[in-house]
Structure 1
Amino acid sequence: MILMSKRFLAAACAAATALALSACSSAPSSEGNASKDGTLTVMASFYPLQYLAEKIGGEHVTVTSLTPAGAEPHDLELSPKTVDALASADAVVYLAGFQAAVDEAIEQQAPTTVIDVSPAVELVEANSSANHPSEDEDADEAQSGESTTEEHADHDHEGHHHDMSTDPHFWLDPVRMASAATLVGDKLAEADPANADTYKANAQALNEELSALGDDLVAKTATCQIKTFVTAHTAFGYLADRTGLTQVGISGLDPDSSPSPARLAEIGQIAKDQGVTTIFTEALIDPKVAQTLADDLGISTAVLDPIESQTDSSKDYVAVMKDNINALSTANNCQ
């Protein structure tokens, strides 16, 4: 009897287990592309896109940046573990052509939803104007801060081809950032239809906030007495375009590029001719060259943040852009 009981119990347990497994395998999933806690897992390639994904996704997304906070995104390297995590994510938000390691990882192991913001932001070709010079701009080819070079340079950092045929720094124009917000909202809505209305509403609200920030940028720089500003690297071309100002970069589009002595002398002359009061530095770039140039000219330094990475966790994209607007309007005597 004891033996029969054990066999009966074993058979009953096996039958119950089989029934449960059958029920689980045949039941449809209601989560779609969702993580265990019910949120979409989203990878963003660097901070401005992380900001968009978090603001638009809200409680429905879990966002991770492929570029660590405080790190330089231009020459990002991805570990095999990170590439695997990217492949298993529900979505990735990135800017094609900006970070070679991210482009390569997506080509190899793309997640279900790939959101490239470049079609929405109207990238400008390098060397098309003074504000978007090519990376091979040489001091003796430039006059009054304007590039006349005909070719662009690609940089190879630790094995990754670095394409600078276009200026990637669109997010420094809040209006372009607003366009990216709309695209991200639409794509997240497609990836997670159950929460589509929320994504689109959040994107619309963010678009309006960023557009207003762009209006504020224009208003506060409309009366600038000084029309030129000098930056640590040429990241602010889209901001300059929006304001009608001209930027002069110590380094080029890639902050790793080094200025020649002739280029520094030329920048110094431009600063004198244009009445520049300030040389702008950045948190992620050694300020030594900018500080030396400012000291030689007898003028000040201040920070203009390219917002390529979040260097202060207490300030988000909008807060830093407001700081930038104030710094620029002060340095350029905008009444």
Structure 2
Amino acid sequence: MNVRRLIPTTALAGATALGLVTLSACSGASSAGGDKADGRLDVVTSFYPMQYLAEEIGGDHVEVTTLTKPGVEPHDLELKPRQVSELRQADYVLYLKGVQPAVDEAIAQSGVEHTVDAATLTELENHGTEVGHDHGHEGEEHEGEEHGAGADPHVWLDPVKYAEVAEGVGDSLAKADPAHAADYRKNTRMLVGKLKALDAKFTDGLKNSTTRTFITTHSAFGYLAERYGLDQHGIAGLDPESEPSPARIKELQSVAKQEKVSTIFFETLASDRTAKTLAKDTGLRTDVLDPLEGITDRSEGDDYLSVMESNLAALQKALGAK
């Protein structure tokens, strides 16, 4: 889904003062920070979960552009020179370090005064291919993973942690634009309220189920699994494009049988080939569990909240929740 923004054409040479040009918020287009005729804060975000926070909290006082276009797998993003140039002109930058190496590097070199790493606004944990309540993997460090650079960045899939990030974003926007601080804090409270309500829906919706175990291609749901007492088994690791070993496939076949798993989950922005192969071999069905790294026409909803509710419905069906 493209979110439309109206930008005064005074930023364009030769255009009339009253003309308007419509640009996609995800196109990466942006006018120079500090020179905007309408006085809005020029905000650049790295990918959808950060875009959603900036738009919900910033409201009418910000113009948000996103470096990752809809349909692009965020982990694989390579920035164009134009995007790097526009990034340097931003008033405020919001990103999540550890998801997109190219973005991390460009932001480090941008020199933008108000730059916020969402990973610093909550506590990150280490998650591997198996994470969850029943197997006791909370806080366990996996081979090749250290706290910090190797920590799981998918905090937005836990509504409680996402709310913590939202509160930090609200505070930082208030500091970057003191004239509208009261509105930023009001919008933050409203968003945190919505996230608390979402957390309550997950807690209530998943408390009674036939199994607590789910299998997914992308190990993005470690925080969600821990929050709601589930057990995630990932076909791949934190990188959605990594290929599992034959031994891992055999292990998952055993898990599916022992834990009465009914469904192999895949996502919209990465290949579903491995998930469908495993499902065929084990006689299971497939379904979508969206890691919400981007919103597209294929998303089961048009924003963060609606897609998360679709994820809840998919988990309830797969886990036999009553």
Same fold by TM-score, threshold 0.5 exceeded? yes
CA distance in 1, matches of 2:124, 2:137: 19
Matched, 1:282 2:274: no
SS of the aligned residue for 2:74 comes to coil
Matched, 1:266 2:258: no
Residue identity opposite 1:70 in structure 2: G
Residue identity opposite 1:227 in structure 2: R
Give the CA deviation at 1:281.
1.1
Give the CA deviation at 1:95.
1.1
SS of the aligned residue for 1:177 comes to helix
Alignment equivalent of 1:239, drawn from 206, 214, 224: 224
Deviations 1:155-181 (A, max 9, x none): xxxxxxxx8610010000011111111
- Contact kept in structure 2, 1:240 and 1:246, CA below 8 Å: yes
SS of the aligned residue for 1:203 comes to helix
Give the CA deviation at 1:75.
2.3
Alignment equivalent of 1:227, drawn from 212, 217, 225: 212
Larger radius of gyration: 1
**Structure 1 stretches lacking a partner, 5+ long:** 1-31, 133-143, 155-162
- Contact kept in structure 1, 2:93 and 2:112, CA below 8 Å: yes
Alignment equivalent of 2:239, drawn from 254, 264, 282: 254
Q: Which residue of 2 aligns with 1:178?
A: 163
Residue correspondence of structure 1 range 96-175 to structure 2 within 5 A: 96-127=97-128, 130-131=130-131, 150-152=142-144, 165-175=150-160
Matched, 1:297 2:274: no
Q: Which residue of 2 aligns with 1:203?
A: 188
CA distance in 2, matches of 1:291, 1:227: 21
- Contact kept in structure 2, 1:89 and 1:112, CA below 8 Å: no
SS of the aligned residue for 2:265 comes to strand
Q: Which residue of 1 aligns with 2:200?
A: 215
- Contact kept in structure 2, 1:282 and 1:306, CA below 8 Å: yes
CA distance in 1, matches of 2:159, 2:45: 18
Give the CA deviation at 1:130.
3.2
Q: Which residue of 1 aligns with 2:293?
A: 308
Q: Which residue of 1 aligns with 2:4?
A: none
- Describe the shift of the 1:149–1:206 C-alpha distance in structure 2 as closer, same or farther (beyond 3 A): closer
RMSD between aligned alpha carbons? 2.2
Give the CA deviation at 1:125.
2.2
Q: Which residue of 1 aligns with 2:29?
A: none
- Describe the shift of the 1:206–1:34 C-alpha distance in structure 2 as closer, same or farther (beyond 3 A): farther
TM-score under structure 1 normalisation? 0.80
Residue correspondence of structure 1 range 21-36 to structure 2 within 5 A: 33=34, 35-36=36-37
- Contact kept in structure 1, 2:216 and 2:235, CA below 8 Å: yes
SS of the aligned residue for 2:217 comes to strand
Deviations 1:125-180 (A, max 9, x none): 245x9318xxxxxxxxxxx89798752269xxxxxxxx861001000001111111
- Contact kept in structure 2, 1:278 and 1:300, CA below 8 Å: yes
- Contact kept in structure 2, 1:34 and 1:40, CA below 8 Å: no
SS of the aligned residue for 2:107 comes to helix
Deviations 1:79-110 (A, max 9, x none): 12111101101100011232211221122113
Give the total of aligned pairs.
284
CA distance in 2, matches of 1:288, 1:97: 26
**Structure 2 stretches lacking a partner, 5+ long:** 1-32
Say which structure is richer in helix: 1
- Describe the shift of the 1:84–1:258 C-alpha distance in structure 2 as closer, same or farther (beyond 3 A): same
- Contact kept in structure 1, 2:205 and 2:316, CA below 8 Å: yes
CA distance in 2, matches of 1:325, 1:276: 16
CA distance in 1, matches of 2:246, 2:304: 34
- Contact kept in structure 2, 1:95 and 1:116, CA below 8 Å: yes
CA distance in 1, matches of 2:214, 2:36: 46
Q: Which residue of 2 aligns with 1:73?
A: 74
Deviations 1:216-248 (A, max 9, x none): 111100002111000011000011011100000
SS of the aligned residue for 1:124 comes to coil
Residue identity opposite 2:193 in structure 1: E
Alignment equivalent of 1:326, drawn from 313, 316, 320: 313
